Structure 1
Amino acid sequence: MKNTGSVINAMIRYYSGDIKRINHFIKVYGYSKAIGEMENLDDKTREILEVTAVVHDIGIKVSEEKYHSSAGHYQQLEGPAVAADMLENLGYEQEFIERVCYLIAHHHTYTNIDGLDYQILVEADFLVNLDEDKTPGDGIRNVKQNIFRTKTGISFLNHLFGV
């Protein structure tokens, strides 16, 4: 069945027992959904964003097995193929899957951001990572200045971290 709930279900099964990874993608999904709605994304772009938020780190499992690392560049390399298989099995169309895979393959690349779905995904992932990594104030201010662009993402960052 093709809906975000089925993607979340598939990802919980994929990361069965790894509550840290599951909680991470659920938080990124929540911020992505909220920012996408507040920034008035059209329905198709919002669906792409929300599904990508759920699967954005799907490459970690393969990266850790293959390279003994969860580094971003390995996630970007390994994630698209795993996500494509999952999304095909859930009934998503090829064009949709291609955009999701593109976003997965670039979500740790912060130059040449080519769409609001990409920008919001990056911002949502940062909102979660800044907290999970206990990033100090200077690092948060640097990310705000260099990465964040949406009005909603900046507002969330200000209210969450007091910057």
Structure 2
Amino acid sequence: MRTGKVIDAMIGYYSGDARRINHFLKVYGFSKAIGEMEGLDDRTQEILEITAATHDIGIKLSEEKYGNCSGSHQQVEGPPEARKLLEGLGYEDEVIDRVCFIISRHHTYKDIQGIDYQILVEADFLVNAFEDTLPETAVRSFRDKVFRTETGKRFLERLYGIID
């Protein structure tokens, strides 16, 4: 199944919230490119792309329930919302389970399990570093501590002009 339906559903989910829509589309774009450059198999690539499109689905409910969208709230509220959306689109349980697993940990940078999870974290950081105007010291630190893929590191260094 192609991810266009997931993107369409997520744009509908965040209708009127251009900031959130643009964020997940940028994360999706980086995830797709990194996955392709790192040579992911088709199944893992599909899971990565679905996860990238839905990774922040917990924000809306977190803001409604808690008045904020902290990473810990997103990790709790996101998986059930993603499951409903993906079941409605006809995805199989195995795909949904993996997507929900990654969403439930996408703000957790220790014990990253799987290349799909790793790439999602890297792609999300590439976008967040810009959106949050992080200083170069924070970008370098995150690169050194968390980034593992050669493509993700290259993108980060080129985006932020980091020369070692």
What TM-score do you get using the length of structure 1 for normalisation? 0.98
Question: In the aligned structure 2, how far is the partner of 1:112 from the partner of 1:137?
Answer: 25
Corresponding residue of 1:109: 108
Kindly provide the amino acid, as one letter, of the partner of residue 77 in structure 2: E
Corresponding residue of 1:118: 117
Q: Is the counterpart of residue 23 in structure 1 residue 16 in structure 2?
A: no
Q: Is the counterpart of residue 10 in structure 1 residue 40 in structure 2?
A: no
Kindly provide the amino acid, as one letter, of the partner of residue 29 in structure 2: G
Paired residue secondary structure (2:104): helix
Unaligned runs of 5+ in 1: none
Paired residue secondary structure (1:17): coil
Q: CA deviation at 1:51?
A: 0.4
Question: In the aligned structure 2, how far is the partner of 1:144 from the partner of 1:106?
Answer: 18
Corresponding residue of 2:52: 53
Question: In the aligned structure 2, how far is the partner of 1:95 from the partner of 1:157?
Answer: 31
Q: CA deviation at 1:78?
A: 0.2
Q: CA RMSD in A?
A: 0.5
Moved over 6 A (4+): none
Unaligned runs of 5+ in 2: none
Q: CA deviation at 1:21?
A: 0.1
Kindly provide the amino acid, as one letter, of the partner of residue 148 in structure 1: F
Paired residue secondary structure (1:30): helix
Count of matched residue positions in the alignment of Structure 1 and Structure 2 = 162
Q: Is the counterpart of residue 79 in structure 1 residue 82 in structure 2?
A: no
Q: CA deviation at 1:3?
A: 2.3
- How far does the alpha carbon of each residue in 1:72-121 deviate from its partner, in whole angstroms, 9 at most, with x for none? 00000000000000000000000100000000000000011110000000
Q: CA deviation at 1:12?
A: 0.4
Corresponding residue of 1:37: 36
Q: CA deviation at 1:162?
A: 1.1
Kindly provide the amino acid, as one letter, of the partner of residue 155 in structure 2: F
Corresponding residue of 1:136: 135
What TM-score do you get using the length of structure 2 for normalisation? 0.98
Question: In the aligned structure 1, how far is the partner of 2:139 from the partner of 2:2?
Answer: 34
Question: In the aligned structure 2, how far is the partner of 1:52 from the partner of 1:114?
Answer: 14
Q: CA deviation at 1:151?
A: 0.3
Corresponding residue of 2:160: 161
Kindly provide the amino acid, as one letter, of the partner of residue 117 in structure 1: D
Question: In the aligned structure 2, how far is the partner of 1:6 from the partner of 1:95?
Answer: 18
| Percent identical residues | 62
Paired residue secondary structure (1:106): coil
Corresponding residue of 2:94: 95
- How far does the alpha carbon of each residue in 1:20-56 deviate from its partner, in whole angstroms, 9 at most, with x for none? 0000000000000000000000000000000000000
